Structure 1
Amino acid sequence: MNPVDDPDELCFRSAAELAAAIRRREVSAREVVTAHLEQIERVNPAVNAIVTLVADQALEEAAKADARLVGCAEVGPLHGLPVAHKDLHDTAGIRTTYGSPIFADRVPDRDHLVVERLRNAGAITIGKTNVPELGMGSHTVNKVFGPTRNPYDLSRSAGGSSGGAGAALACGMQPIADGSDTGGSLRNPASFNNVVGLRPSPGRVPSWPDRAPWGQISVKGPMARTVEDVALTLSVLAGPDGRSPLALETPGSVFAWPLDSDVRGLRVAWSPDLGGAVPVDAEVTAALAPALDVFTDLGCVVEDACPDLSGADEVFLTERAWQMELAYGAVLDRHRDQMAADVVWNIEEGRRLTGPDLGRAQLLRADLYHRVREFFEAYDLLLLPVSQVVPFDIRLAHPAAVDGTPMETYLDWMRSAYLISATGCPALSVPAGFTPQGLPVGLQVIGPHRQDLAVLRAGHAFEQATRTGERRPPAVLSGPALTTSEKRSRS
């Protein structure tokens, strides 16, 4: 069958396979982009993942991408692949709202560095993905576009802040995505949507423009449906840039290497609750229990163990509050009445910080770094849940309790992700199981400082052994289908 006659086949091919097929001219960039635009038209009304669409621009760029291949020109590794960028990342000439009515009509005049790198690698911008207001929290809802719904259960949250990206990937609206992660914003939506998200090491993906270029609590990174596609996207996003003072010197090309590796003998620590530091709902731990057998069957040595994360909570909450005030304090002064209560609270928490508070956080983080470093002298990997809960009711601002423990703020239920952010370690969310109700649950794979490739290889081995990420959401299967003739008439 011609791939054009089977758009689902195109929309759910891996990014690596799709890019190779475009380069071989087995399928055109225009056909690929058209198939994804039709998938958006069919499925997006139900999930609300992509909130700004530039279809005509994308088709024009696809035609130019095809023309470049006619002359056998050298092209980038993402040539012809459609991507919708996170609505926190500036896109030149395309509305970027940050999920806030304050910025609802904002059109930047330059691309963020992650957008620039994706486009330079040949990716074609098709639009923007939904985020929480100002990217705050792991539940994607805002007053500009409304909520993004979980494609596995439309009454549930898609997570956040890269929730639109996660849902769009799960529904075949794009093969790769860019995102960002402070307290879990690449990992939580990956877990909630049965896709893959990597929080890279600080400095692995340079950021520009950036109000806090020396900060390490927030990072940019990739999402996709497979670990291989996350690594492919990271190969484009990673590498030094003079505009980012913390950018690591390792070239991104190392992440384009094959991920197949022998994981036998790896020493793997498992800690479902980080040594009692976080409550976890029983259905999460039940869904993840088989993952331990998978690693054992792969030849790993799995033990119950956890690093001492004392002080990690204070480190994260202090640095996040300081960052929120730095980024949006002036906006609060002018537009308080247009900002959600949780956003106002977090900015004001930053305003209450003193110099000694910031200094104490740095001392705690130094101690934390060395304890975690020493832990990884005994273990190669740390495994734990990505999220303490399964996707929750979309009407909630955040879970009110986890395993009977009240959650007082919109951040509390994210501790299993944000405590890892404070360590500075790379962390991967990989599909690992489903609850009896069909809700996805992700496994968090953490490695030693700057060992992003080792984390990707371990996640790839687990993924190949389980194939959990291949389960498609009901929102895709039940959407109204167009006939082939109808689709051709729109191309």
Structure 2
Amino acid sequence: MKNQEIWRLDASGLMALTRTGAVSAKEATTAALNRLEAVNPQLNAVVETLAETALNTAEALDQARANGAPCGPLHGVPVTIKVNVDQAGCATTNGVVALKNVIAPEDAPVVANLRKAGAVIIGRSNTSEFSFRADTDNPLYGRTHNPWGKHISAGGSSGGAGAAVMAGIGALAHGNDIGGSLRFPAAATGAVSLKPGLGRVPAWNPSQSAERGLLAQSMSVQGLLTRSARDLDLAMPAMIAGDMRDPLHSPLPWQGPPLEGPIRVAFSRETYGYDLHRDVDAALDAALDALRDAGYRVEEVETPSIFEAGRIGYRALMGEVKTLMGRDIKDMGSDTIRQIFDTYFQEFPPLCNSDLLRAMAERSRFMREWNVFLARYPLVLTPFMFKPFFAPDRDTNGRAGVQEVLGEAIYSYAVNFLGLPAACVPARLAQTEKGPQPINVQIIAQRWREDLAVAAAQAIEERLGQMCHPLWETMEAGK
């Protein structure tokens, strides 16, 4: 196979070749690095290229295979790592100029797990400043552009990861998510992602000087952005391997017990007073039809309130951020991020002191209500956003901008507060005046049943197609 074709393979397709030796790890890595060199200057998705170490790693994998060593589950698969996670010898900058010299002493658990599985790290992907925007731009590295066009934000905070994987820079892209930072970039680019539930993927940064707040610990998770849903099923078993450095990790298998069929899916168009755009409505209909065609039993029903859980959860998170991060944002942040946080605090008035404690106590009530509901309906199909994805810097346009970017993304951050898994998968390619634009939907699953969400995403994708193919046509046409 020619190098110029290898980068087009998803991780599953690539693994079928690297395991047999039809494609070497070095060939796969070289193809990804060549693609990076070709398209990254226009995207700024990868902000640190690790070509030399990547090729050395690939050569070592090839030699080990030649010597009879077994191949790992991600043998030779090129992957990018987000710059807010520790990778030994690299700067963990979090998109902040003042942190540009914070060099990681060792790998975070998620990086170690990917290495153990045989993945090859080819570069570090961009994030938003403090990893706390649904758009990706910062004074240290600049803006990441959406491969669909500069009129659409690349999403955030894992915007570099989403743009990279969808443009063909690596078959897998690491990211993380405290309120939507995996799913925003997926929705922006038509990638597929999974926000795992609390404790599924071990997390910890050896470079950190203090423990994160309790809500940050319980809402933030590590995950992947991929071009295909089947790649999540391939890669997540390696991602969830245990690490004693994370005391919240839950040592559960990836595949849960089979459910008696047909699996029931609750379907909700509830918008809590917001307008549902016709393209989002059409994407929901397409996903609904795909699931029914795949044998799922889809029922339109009323779910427990996601709005109340989301609003209280994000106000509580803002209270924790203001208390624990407020000084760092003021001292190390740009004027832009300080202004955005001021607007966040207006839109989501921070809960502090006893109000914060009460909100954290209420979290168990919301979780209980959803656990009971999900016992009857193991999956819930929802919008991810109520409108097609927004333009770059929309969140800098005062309260109206933050309302569109975050206020209407209630189905995103509510799931973080609940600690539930949720997949995000494209279900429609909308045709707009400025060009085609993907529309993603969300699939919430029972606690600990990420595998069910991914299986449903695969069912949708198998019937509606992958967004990378029309994207690459669009990118080629734009040359």
TM-score under structure 1 length normalisation: 0.87
Q: Distance in 1 between matches of 2:324 and 2:176?
A: 15
1:317 and 2:319 are equivalent in the alignment = no
Q: Distance in 2 between matches of 1:424 and 1:272?
A: 22
Residue number in structure 2 paired with 1:224: 226
Q: Distance in 2 between matches of 1:466 and 1:283?
A: 15
Letter of the structure 2 residue corresponding to residue 300 of structure 1: Y
Residue number in structure 2 paired with 1:241: 243
Residue number in structure 2 paired with 1:28: 24
Relative to structure 1, is the Cα distance of residues 18 and 326 closer, same or farther in structure 2, using a 3 angstrom cutoff?
farther
Instruction: Output one character per residue of 1:230-274: Cα deviation in whole Å (capped at 9) or x when no partner.
Output: 12221111133221111112145x48x9xxx99962222221335
Q: Distance in 2 between matches of 1:351 and 1:103?
A: 28
User: What secondary structure is seen at the aligned counterpart in 1 of 2:224?
Assistant: strand
1:446 and 2:444 are equivalent in the alignment = yes
Q: Distance in 2 between matches of 1:339 and 1:85?
A: 25
Q: Distance in 2 between matches of 1:336 and 1:148?
A: 18
Relative to structure 1, is the Cα distance of residues 152 and 83 closer, same or farther in structure 2, using a 3 angstrom cutoff?
same
User: What secondary structure is seen at the aligned counterpart in 1 of 2:122?
Assistant: strand
Residue number in structure 2 paired with 1:360: 358
Residue number in structure 2 paired with 1:268: 265
Once the two structures are superposed, the pairs formed by residues 402-481 of structure 1 within 5 Å of their partners are 407-408=402-403, 411-437=406-432, 438-473=436-471, 474=473, 476-478=475-477
Q: Distance in 1 between matches of 2:222 and 2:194?
A: 9
What's the Cα RMSD here? 2.8
Q: Distance in 2 between matches of 1:57 and 1:70?
A: 20
Q: Contact (CA 8 Å) 1:329, 1:347: kept in 2 or not?
A: no
Shift of 1:79: 1.8
Residue number in structure 1 paired with 2:10: 14
Letter of the structure 1 residue corresponding to residue 394 of structure 2: L
Shift of 1:475: 5.5
Q: Contact (CA 8 Å) 1:152, 1:475: kept in 2 or not?
A: yes
1:292 and 2:283 are equivalent in the alignment = no
Instruction: Output one character per residue of 1:90-127: Cα deviation in whole Å (capped at 9) or x when no partner.
Output: 21112332112222343322222111111121111111
Shift of 1:400: 7.2
Further displaced range: 383-392 or 31-40: 383-392
Q: Contact (CA 8 Å) 2:279, 2:439: kept in 1 or not?
A: no
User: What secondary structure is seen at the aligned counterpart in 2 of 1:59?
Assistant: helix
Letter of the structure 1 residue corresponding to residue 459 of structure 2: A
Residue number in structure 1 paired with 2:148: 152
Residue number in structure 2 paired with 1:332: 329
Q: Contact (CA 8 Å) 2:88, 2:105: kept in 1 or not?
A: yes
Q: Contact (CA 8 Å) 1:278, 1:415: kept in 2 or not?
A: no
Q: Contact (CA 8 Å) 1:137, 1:410: kept in 2 or not?
A: no
Shift of 1:352: 6.0
Q: Distance in 2 between matches of 1:130 and 1:430?
A: 22
Letter of the structure 2 residue corresponding to residue 243 of structure 1: R
Q: Contact (CA 8 Å) 2:315, 2:349: kept in 1 or not?
A: no
Q: Distance in 1 between matches of 2:376 and 2:244?
A: 36
TM-score under structure 2 length normalisation: 0.89
Letter of the structure 1 residue corresponding to residue 212 of structure 2: A
Shift of 1:191: 1.6
Q: Percent identity?
A: 31
Shift of 1:445: 0.7
Residue number in structure 2 paired with 1:483: none
Relative to structure 1, is the Cα distance of residues 213 and 395 closer, same or farther in structure 2, using a 3 angstrom cutoff?
closer
Further displaced range: 327-336 or 59-68: 327-336
Q: Distance in 2 between matches of 1:338 and 1:67?
A: 50
Relative to structure 1, is the Cα distance of residues 464 and 399 closer, same or farther in structure 2, using a 3 angstrom cutoff?
farther
Q: Distance in 2 between matches of 1:80 and 1:442?
A: 29
Residue number in structure 2 paired with 1:485: none
Shift of 1:366: 1.6
Shift of 1:173: 0.6
Residue number in structure 2 paired with 1:196: 192
Instruction: Output one character per residue of 1:397-453: Cα deviation in whole Å (capped at 9) or x when no partner.
Output: 36779xxx8754853232221122222221000121111221001110111122111
Shift of 1:23: 2.2
Q: Distance in 1 between matches of 2:456 and 2:323?
A: 37
Residue number in structure 2 paired with 1:487: none
1:212 and 2:212 are equivalent in the alignment = yes
Relative to structure 1, is the Cα distance of residues 266 and 409 closer, same or farther in structure 2, using a 3 angstrom cutoff?
closer
User: What secondary structure is seen at the aligned counterpart in 2 of 1:149?
Assistant: coil
Q: Contact (CA 8 Å) 1:239, 1:248: kept in 2 or not?
A: no
Q: Distance in 1 between matches of 2:418 and 2:350?
A: 24
Shift of 1:26: 0.8
Q: Contact (CA 8 Å) 2:319, 2:352: kept in 1 or not?
A: no
Instruction: Output one character per residue of 1:308-367: Cα deviation in whole Å (capped at 9) or x when no partner.
Output: 226313432134224434663452364356672246438978996433112211232121
Q: Distance in 1 between matches of 2:364 and 2:321?
A: 22
Residue number in structure 1 paired with 2:102: 106
Q: Distance in 2 between matches of 1:479 and 1:94?
A: 34
Instruction: Output one character per residue of 1:172-201: Cα deviation in whole Å (capped at 9) or x when no partner.
Output: 111011111111111121121111100011
Letter of the structure 1 residue corresponding to residue 460 of structure 2: F
- Among 244, 249, 252, the residue aligned to 1:250: 252
User: What secondary structure is seen at the aligned counterpart in 1 of 2:218?
Assistant: coil
Relative to structure 1, is the Cα distance of residues 153 and 338 closer, same or farther in structure 2, using a 3 angstrom cutoff?
closer
Instruction: Output one character per residue of 1:194-225: Cα deviation in whole Å (capped at 9) or x when no partner.
Output: 11100011000111137238531111112211
Q: Contact (CA 8 Å) 2:81, 2:124: kept in 1 or not?
A: yes
